[in-house]
């Protein structure tokens, strides 16, 4: 056209001058020709646009992934024509359809882009029906993106417009959309209200597609409510309508829904059949959201069928689709599913990682059912890890959500979980109460798998209550249900339990028959925890039959699995907690080996038992000591480290707030609330530390040391002057290994209960009757007779290393005596305590290349705890009341640990006596207001070989992480300051000290954790870099402490004695003086760690 116009114009120019009249006529003809050409062109463009649009619609109606993409191409070609033509109405409609199909294909952002271009055009042209349809489309996108409130906002803008324009089909679509949102928000009644408004409208208008969609939505609500038959009725009404209308996506969605009902009814194969009908339809139609839902659901079925790898395969196909389509709701549910698989595979850390990824998404998207399901999953993990209170906390968060949303199956699962916790806590009646609440719900909802779980668990309670026949009755009800539903995990658990009943009934062969049915199931399902348990029971049964050698390989295999499962837990706290739940395996293994040793003393079974004993000792501490040097935070994302710091600050803040709450006669509810908030923060803190470990390059490279064998202990830990006494306390009998560089001898000892009775008598005598020396000596002799006398012939060395167990960790071995000699051990021996022999080897390895610090001593003493302290000369009046409340409350809090935060004036005298023993440039003496947290955590501390804290130590036995050393709590102006040197801050210190001295307030105590020993301040300072720590097992009065510490330092600094020899000599001096002769005054002080 342009070329033709130029020719015409050129001709026109040539004719201009010779024929003036002709010019005017020709000009008119040219203008007419131009207009006609333009009109023709516009008609051509309109026709082309219409053709492209209609071709796009025809392609879309084919409802395949390929045809949808081709439709988009046609519409995108049509769009510029409509824009050129200025056809706003058709431009808006094309934009709408592009948004609609992109949403269908799971490309949410593109869908929003097109909808948001269409919306203002519909509004500008006054097309209210188009505006309503587009608002509904945007609402659907936000629903798919998990932004429920935004979805409702758009739907609620659309609904009145559809009603005003009489667009009843649009009204149905919007009502159905709102119903779906409320269903996902866990508000089933609201969802049903909207669906029940939509259903008659769709039927009245002949909107078959809308009718079928609504029926499917109602079916899903009834499924969530546990009304399976109703759900099936609605799905089965919808399915033929979708098929009749050729709506393949709707058909596939309904098939998926029916599959879900079948799964919930325990009909796994039927569920798979329906899912496998739906999946190819979703793929053919390009419905990626539907595809992801179906893949996720197939994964869930395979998980329940005990095929974890298949389950993970399907979940891992679903997850990237959910993420690609922006479906956060689906993403979170899949993460929860993966977490559940890892939980069953015995990988609790991985399970928690996935659950903790899912939980914030579920909360953000308002998916209350999903949130509750995930909380229940987390509760289950903590239950398996032995963290019963944490498990209850999570279950009790989930239960009210399930009840509020009407999710009866979820409610029943949670009730069953709570029952399980109470069973393990030794409260069988409470357990039965919860199980008996759950059972009728499972039956009412047709959840046969849940019914079987509960029957099995009730059986376990009756077994524990000593009612084996009742137990068998319940187990035998559960077993056929598990088999019918294909639940292999449950089948294996029940078979195991039946085996245990027959074992207790004295029918070992029957027990073994059941165990041997179980083992291949656990192996096939990858349930390694279950496998370890069954191996343990087989070994236990064989041992009781007298087949000790037959039992051994089963127990060895069981221990190997336990060790492997333990290594999969990144969090030290959870690893520690898990390990405490399996200590009975190690105790049995040790006892089995020692029984074999008695049968055949020349086979080295007692050496193997010693090696097993070392495996049960301070494992987490052993690993933490290796971590300390690795700097595992290097290379970790700054955001994670920032979250860790923020949580540390929040922990400090919550402790201050807790103090304030406790200061004002709080109600039980207030106390519970603040404790719960603190525990939640602690849990978050531990989770973030686990994430740091999981993502740390240094941690990945870290090779944890293995516990030492007997030969390695002899070579790496002992010398010719040292003898090791290692104890293992057991229910029936206990054991002692006496190890020197030359050899090892083992001895059976009385039961744990008998030893505990004697140990408590000694403790009571020292603490509460300290001047009754005859009584204390008698108690010490009686305990010594049981735990030391067998080893007496071998105690011919200079030094005794003690690796204690149970209550013996609280006993001052220096105050015990040998038969025929009532003098305390410390009169003849240096006595050193160790968490384990392996710990000392690791300490030596980690400190062997460290340079000696240049200065001698940094001592902190006599901090200021109260604004009433006489050292505060000019207090800030405005702060006084608040301070007093804080300090008063802190005093109360400390009293719970039997500690009063009063001034320790004796610590000043203690410190002043010590610092006189060295020149000023060799020491740092910090007291009063300067004995504060800032100085206690100063990098300058690494300049000193000895660091001494003469102040209060607070031990929190429930949460050792909250233990710490109390520094000044007010500054020199009377302002309250943070003065708690908490355990996490101690861990973060970088010390070059050879010795840390904690001279006050039971600093040697801690929470006794099976498999770890005492978890307290000692391990914190060892982690921070000190190879030895001098601590106190009980609070000794100021004068005696000053006397003891002054003598100890004088012997170290003036006589140049090593710390162990100096401690022995100082204790001996005290013992030889009448005033200090009672062990109360000198025996509390024990040295832990390196003696060299």
> How is the chain split into domains, by residue range?
2-43, 329-426, 447-520, 527-601, 633-701, 710-839, 852-1089
pLDDT > 60? residue 899 = no
Which of 186-195, 519-528, 649-658 has the weakest average pLDDT?
649-658
> Residue 1022's pLDDT band (boundaries 50, 70, 90)?
confident
Which of 390-399, 570-579, 1011-1020, 1054-1063 has the weakest average pLDDT?
1011-1020
Q: Which pLDDT value is given to residue 638?
A: 81
Any residues with CB less than 8 A from the CB of 870 and at least 6 apart, and which? none
- The vertex-1006 CA angle with 1003 and 1009, nearest 5°, equals 160
124-144: per-residue pLDDT in tens?
999 999 999 999 999 999 888
| Chain mean pLDDT for the chain | 85
Q: Which pLDDT value is given to residue 704?
A: 57
Q: And the tokens for 1082? A: 């000198």
pLDDT > 60? residue 17 = no
Alpha-carbon separation of residue 87 from 41, 53, 82, 134, 1043 (angstroms): 15, 13, 5, 18, 99
* pTM for the full predicted model: 0.70
pLDDT > 90? residue 655 = no
- The vertex-505 CA angle with 504 and 509, nearest 5°, equals 90
pLDDT > 50? residue 32 = no
**CA dist., res. 292 & res. 896, Å (int):** 54
Which of 303-307, 436-440, 742-746, 781-785 has the weakest average pLDDT?
303-307
670-695: per-residue pLDDT in tens?
777 877 787 778 778 777 877 776 77
Question: Does the domain at residues 447-520 carry the CATH identifier 1.25.40.10?
Answer: yes
**Which residue in this structure is represented by tokens 């516009």?**
42
Q: Which pLDDT value is given to residue 1067?
A: 96
Mean pLDDT, rounded, for 375-400: 93
3-state SS class at 1031: strand
pLDDT > 70? residue 176 = yes
**Which residue in this structure is represented by tokens 């939640």?**
680
More confident residue, 372 or 999: 372
Highest mean pLDDT among 221-235, 703-717, 958-972: 221-235
73-94: per-residue pLDDT in tens?
989 998 898 888 888 989 899 9
Residues across the chain: 1092
Where does 710-839 sit in CATH, by number?
3.30.420
CATH superfamily of 329-426: Tetratricopeptide repeat domain (1.25.40.10)
Q: And the tokens for 1053? A: 């600094």
**CA dist., res. 1021 & res. 1029, Å (int):** 7
Identical topology for domains 329-426 and 447-520:
yes
> Residue 10's pLDDT band (boundaries 50, 70, 90)?
very low
In sequence order, the β-bridge partners of residue 965 are 953, 981
**Which residue in this structure is represented by tokens 């431009």?**
91
**CA dist., res. 1090 & res. 1028, Å (int):** 5
> Residue 63's pLDDT band (boundaries 50, 70, 90)?
confident
Q: Which pLDDT value is given to residue 1013?
A: 39
Mean pLDDT, rounded, for 24-34: 41
Alpha-carbon dihedral 534, 540, 541, 545, rounded to 10 degrees: 160
> Residue 698's pLDDT band (boundaries 50, 70, 90)?
low
**CA dist., res. 222 & res. 796, Å (int):** 78
pLDDT > 80? residue 602 = yes
**Which residue in this structure is represented by tokens 């220096």?**
814
pLDDT > 50? residue 30 = no
Mean pLDDT, rounded, for 971-998: 85
544-591: per-residue pLDDT in tens?
999 999 999 999 999 999 888 887 776 766 777 777 788 889 999 999
Q: Is 590 left (phi over 0), alpha (psi -120 to 50) or beta?
A: alpha
Mean pLDDT, rounded, for 653-666: 66
pLDDT > 80? residue 60 = yes
More confident residue, 947 or 962: 947
- Dihedral of CA 320/325/329/330: which sign? negative
Q: Over pLDDT 70: what percentage of the chain?
A: 87
> Residue 707's pLDDT band (boundaries 50, 70, 90)?
confident
Mean pLDDT, rounded, for 983-1009: 72
pLDDT > 90? residue 212 = yes
Q: Which residues of 521-533 are buried (b: 16+ CB within 10 A; e: fewer)?
A: bbeebbbbbbbbb
Any residues with CB less than 8 A from the CB of 88 and at least 6 apart, and which? 121, 124, 125
**CA dist., res. 735 & res. 757, Å (int):** 17
Q: Pairing relation of β-strands 1028-1032 and 995-998?
A: parallel
Where does 852-1089 sit in CATH, by number?
3.40.50
**Which residue in this structure is represented by tokens 């300072």?**
1021
**CA dist., res. 852 & res. 846, Å (int):** 14
Q: Which pLDDT value is given to residue 705?
A: 62
**CA dist., res. 400 & res. 402, Å (int):** 5
At the second CATH level, the architecture of 527-601 is Up-down Bundle (1.20)
Q: Which pLDDT value is given to residue 773?
A: 94
Mean pLDDT, rounded, for 38-59: 80
Q: Which pLDDT value is given to residue 953?
A: 80
Q: Which pLDDT value is given to residue 41?
A: 58
pLDDT > 50? residue 440 = yes
- The vertex-210 CA angle with 207 and 216, nearest 5°, equals 140
- Residue 544's CB: how many other CB atoms inside 10 A? 13
Any residues with CB less than 8 A from the CB of 343 and at least 6 apart, and which? 351, 377, 380, 381, 384
Q: Which pLDDT value is given to residue 883?
A: 39
Is the Cβ–Cβ distance between 902 and 862 less than 8 Å?
no
Q: Which pLDDT value is given to residue 837?
A: 87
Query: E strands of 913-985, at which residues?
Result: 923-928, 944-950, 953-954, 964-966, 980-982
């Amino acid at each position: 056209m342009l070329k033709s116009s130029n020719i015409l114009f050129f001709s026109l120019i040539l004719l201009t001058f010779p024929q003036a009249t002709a010019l005017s006529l020709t000009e008119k003809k040219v203008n007419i020709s131009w207009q006609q050409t333009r009109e023709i062109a516009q008609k051509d463009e309109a026709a082309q646009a219409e053709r492209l649009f209609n071709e796009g619609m025809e392609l879309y109606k084919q409802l395949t992934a390929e045809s949808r993409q081709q439709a988009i191409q046609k519409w995108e070609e049509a769009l510029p024509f409509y824009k050129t033509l200025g056809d706003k109405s058709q431009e808006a409609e094309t934009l709408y359809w592009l948004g609609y199909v992109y949403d269908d294909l799971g490309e949410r952002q593109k869908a929003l882009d097109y909808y948001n271009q269409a919306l203002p055009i519909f509004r500008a042209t006054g097309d209210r029906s188009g505006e309503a349809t587009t608002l509904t489309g945007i609402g659907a996108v936000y629903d798919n993106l998990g932004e429920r409130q935004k979805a409702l906002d758009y739907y609620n803008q659309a609904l009145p417009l559809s009603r005003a324009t009489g667009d009843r089909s649009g009204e149905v679509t919007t009502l159905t959309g709102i119903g779906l949102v409320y269903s996902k928000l866990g508000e089933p009644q609201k969802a049903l209200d909207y669906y029940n408004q939509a259903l008659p409208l769709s039927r009245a208008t002949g909107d078959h597609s809308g009718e079928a969609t609504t029926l499917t939505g109602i079916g899903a609500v009834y499924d969530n409510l546990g009304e399976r038959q109703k759900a099936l009725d609605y799905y089965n009404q919808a399915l033929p309508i979708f098929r009749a209308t050729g709506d393949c996506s709707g058909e596939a969605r309904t098939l998926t829904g029916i599959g879900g009902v079948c799964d919930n009814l325990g009909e796994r194969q039927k569920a798979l059949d329906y899912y496998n009908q739906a999946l190819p339809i979703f793929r053919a139609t390009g419905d990626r959201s539907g595809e992801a839902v179906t893949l996720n659901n197939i994964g869930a079925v395979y998980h329940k069928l005990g095929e974890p790898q298949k389950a993970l395969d399907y979940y891992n196909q679903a997850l990237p689709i959910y993420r690609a389509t922006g479906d956060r709701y689906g993403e979170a549910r899949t993460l929860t599913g993966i977490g559940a698989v890892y939980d069953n595979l015995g990988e609790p850390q991985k399970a928690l990682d996935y659950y903790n990824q899912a939980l914030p998404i579920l909360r953000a998207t308002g998916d209350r059912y999903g949130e509750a399901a995930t909380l229940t999953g987390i509760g289950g993990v903590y239950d398996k890890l032995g963290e019963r209170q944490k498990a209850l906390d999570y279950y009790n968060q989930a239960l009210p959500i399930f009840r509020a949303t009407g999710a009866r199956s979820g409610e029943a699962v949670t009730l069953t979980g709570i029952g399980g916790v109470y069973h393990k806590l030794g409260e069988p009646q409470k357990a039965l109460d919860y199980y008996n609440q759950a059972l009728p719900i499972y039956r009412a909802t047709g959840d046969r798998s849940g019914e079987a779980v509960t029957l099995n668990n009730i059986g376990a309670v009756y077994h524990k209550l000593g009612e084996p026949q009742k137990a068998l009755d319940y187990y035998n009800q559960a077993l056929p249900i598990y088999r019918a539903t294909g639940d292999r995990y449950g089948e294996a658990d029940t078979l195991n339990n039946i085996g245990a009943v027959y074992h207790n009934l004295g029918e070992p062969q029957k027990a073994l028959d059941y165990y041997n049915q179980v083992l291949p199931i656990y192996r096939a399902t990858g349930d390694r925890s279950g496998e370890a348990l069954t191996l343990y029971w087989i070994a236990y049964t064989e041992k009781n039959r007298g087949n000790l050698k037959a039992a051994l390989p089963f127990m060895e295999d069981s221990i190997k699995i336990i060790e492997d499962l333990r290594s999969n837990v990144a969090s030290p706290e959870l690893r520690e907690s898990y390990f405490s739940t399996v200590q009975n395996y190690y105790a049995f293994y040790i006892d089995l080996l020692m029984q074999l040793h008695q049968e055949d003393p020349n086979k080295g079974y007692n050496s193997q038992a010693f090696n097993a004993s070392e495996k049960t000792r301070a494992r987490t501490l052993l690993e933490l000591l290796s971590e300390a040097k690795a700097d595992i935070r290097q290379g970790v994302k700054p955001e994670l480290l920032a979250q860790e710091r923020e949580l540390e600050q929040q922990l400090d803040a919550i402790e201050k707030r807790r103090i304030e709450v406790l200061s004002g006669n709080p109600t039980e509810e207030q106390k519970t609330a603040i404790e719960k908030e603190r525990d939640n923060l602690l849990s978050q803190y531990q989770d973030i530390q686990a994430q740091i470990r999981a993502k740390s390059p240094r941690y990945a490279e870290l090779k944890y040391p293995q516990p030492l064998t007997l030969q390695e202990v002899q070579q790496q830990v002992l010398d010719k002057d040292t003898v090791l006494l290692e104890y293992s306390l057991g229910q029936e009998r206990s054991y002692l290994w006496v190890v020197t560089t030359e050899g090892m001898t083992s001895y059976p000892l009385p039961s744990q209960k008998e030893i505990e009775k004697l140990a408590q008598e000694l403790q009571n005598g020292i603490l509460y009757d300290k001047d009754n020396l005859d009584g204390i000596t008698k108690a010490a002799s009686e305990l010594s007779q049981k735990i030391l006398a067998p080893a007496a012939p071998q105690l011919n060395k200079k030094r005794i290393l003690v690796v204690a167990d149970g209550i013996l960790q609280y006993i001052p071995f220096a105050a015990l005596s040998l038969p025929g000699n009532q003098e305390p051990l410390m009169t003849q021996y240096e006595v050193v305590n160790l968490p384990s022999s392996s710990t000392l080897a690791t300490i030596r390895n980690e400190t062997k290349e460290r340079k000696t610090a240049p200065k001698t001593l940094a001592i902190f003493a006599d901090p200021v705890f109260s604004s009433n302290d006489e050292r505060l000369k000019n207090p800030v009046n405005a702060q006084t009341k608040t301070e007093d409340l804080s300090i008063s409350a802190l005093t109360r809090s400390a009293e719970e640990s039997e500690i009063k935060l009063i001034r320790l004036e004796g610590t000043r005298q203690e410190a002043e006596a010590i610092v006189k023993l060295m020149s000023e440039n060799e020491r740092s003496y910090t007291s009063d207001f300067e004995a504060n947290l800032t100085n206690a955590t100063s990098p300058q501390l690494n300049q000193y070989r000895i660091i001494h804290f003469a102040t209060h130590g607070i031990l929190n036995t429930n949460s050792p992480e909250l233990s710490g050393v109390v520094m000044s709590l007010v500054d020199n102006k009377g302002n309250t300051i943070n003065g708690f040197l908490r355990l996490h801050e101690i861990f973060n210190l970088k010390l070059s000290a050879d010795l840390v001295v904690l001279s006050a307030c039971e600093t040697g105590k801690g929470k006794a954790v099976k498999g770890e020993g005492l978890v307290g301040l000692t391990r914190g300072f060892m982690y921070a870099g000190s190879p030895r720590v001098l601590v106190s097992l009980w609070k000794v009065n100021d004068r005696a402490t000053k006397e003891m510490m002054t003598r100890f330092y004088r012997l170290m600094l003036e006589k140049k004695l090593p710390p162990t020899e100096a401690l022995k000599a100082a204790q001996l001096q005290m013992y030889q003086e009448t005033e200090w002769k009672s062990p109360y005054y000198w025996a509390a002080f024990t040295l832990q760690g390196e003696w060299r």
